[in-house]
Amino acid sequence: TGYLAKNNPSPENPNKPVSSVVETYIKSCAGYCVITYILGIGDRHLDNIMLKPTGHFFHIDFGFVFGRDPKPMPPAFRLTQSMVDGFGGDEGFKQFKSVCCQTFNLLRRHAGLVVNLLHLSKEGNIPDLSNHPTLGSDEIIQRVEEKFRLDLTDEQAEHFFISLIGESMTALAPRVLEVFHQIAVSR
């Protein structure tokens, strides 16, 4: 919240950002988590994540997609405690989880469209879809479809996604690998 407050101080409390910026941050962070999970965006170290002063949160490196990741044991998506702290407390975190679940269920309703678009795109020389080093494009598309968890009701899907949030926040491997990444980059 410090960065957002510095760039968008609330008139009531200059140490807090205006609520519309926090709202943007929460929604864009939720969208980031859902889409990076479904599309299997890899290499999600903190240098590949950006935050604009307006609260827009986004990923910038798409060199690893559809489940390919240079790091072992990647979580479903990257969610750190400092990212959660930017939500402004328990109510913000609750809103984040709600937006994640709503987004996930909305995309699940349109999973067929996403899967069909991937099938239409598989001859388009898209990295990791058309020319994955170990998997065929049909297997990759099947894995994307499985991530929608169409076997679950909407309520079960919400519980599933909330469990992914918990797993992503407590995953040890990304924190350890982030330290190694920072050391390697600083040399």
pTM confidence score: 0.83
Q: Give pLDDT, residue 180.
A: 41
Token readout for 26 is: 């929460």
Spatial separation of the C-alpha atoms in residues 5 and 3, rounded to whole Å? 5
**Residue 61 confidence (pLDDT) above 80:** no
**Residue 66 confidence (pLDDT) above 60:** yes
Spatial separation of the C-alpha atoms in residues 107 and 38, rounded to whole Å? 9
Q: Give Dmax (Cα) for the chain.
A: 56
Model confidence over 107-132: pLDDT tens digits?
A: 999 999 999 999 998 888 887 888 77
Mean pLDDT score, 1-16: 86
Model confidence over 9-21: pLDDT tens digits?
A: 899 998 888 899 9
